[in-house]
Structure 1
Amino acid sequence: MRGPRRSRVAFVLVDGIGDVTIPSLGGRTPLEAAAMPRLDAVAAAGVVGLMDPVEPGLACGSDTAHLSLLGYDPRVYYRGRGAFESMGAGLAMAPGDIAFKVRCRPLSTKL
């Protein structure tokens, strides 16, 4: 006898593609202006929604949101963006290590 059929789920998280409107795109965002037939087909065949994965009082960024979506409480496991960026770059983090995320910008665009 066969057991109950299990549903297969593909969890597609398209993060960071929201943007601001751009006048040269007719007031649309880059996402709205892009031709994405495959992503459109996936969205049309599935369930699409909006979710706020982080509870009130916590900063909602990719790092805290991803922890929440994967079942980790960011209040317990989140240690700052620097650690995520370091590990993403292949740098191992050990207990007691400190990592900072820094964005360097020129003071002038005329360099």
Structure 2
Amino acid sequence: MNSKLNILVRVDLDHARAQVIAKGHITVHSVQALYVVVKRANSLKQGLDLELDISNAWVDDEALEQLQACSRTHHLPAKIDPQQKPCNVSVLAPRVPAVTGPALIAA
């Protein structure tokens, strides 16, 4: 899998929906870039329903926990959004969790 983070945003303002699709490797560092994109999408229209699709990404456990916390609290981290505007983001989790630790190789 490519470690470079690729992000695509689809927006339907008529139905107040947006989808942020991320592929590649999401780490605790690269998740910050994802937050910025989500914040920009959220600013397009009040009450926008955002779906964060990371189903085809390789997501580190800590980064996934951070994203799920945003989904539960409906707020982005204060460092990203100091005004703490409501953010209705749902996370479509990866199909296969990231490997945390040395990978086992079958002989």
* TM-score, with structure 2 as normaliser: 0.24
Q: Structure 1 or 2: larger helix share?
A: 1
Select the structure with the greater relative contact order (CA < 8 A; seq sep ≥ 6).
2
Structure having the larger proportion of residues in strand: 2
Normalising by structure 1, report the TM-score: 0.23
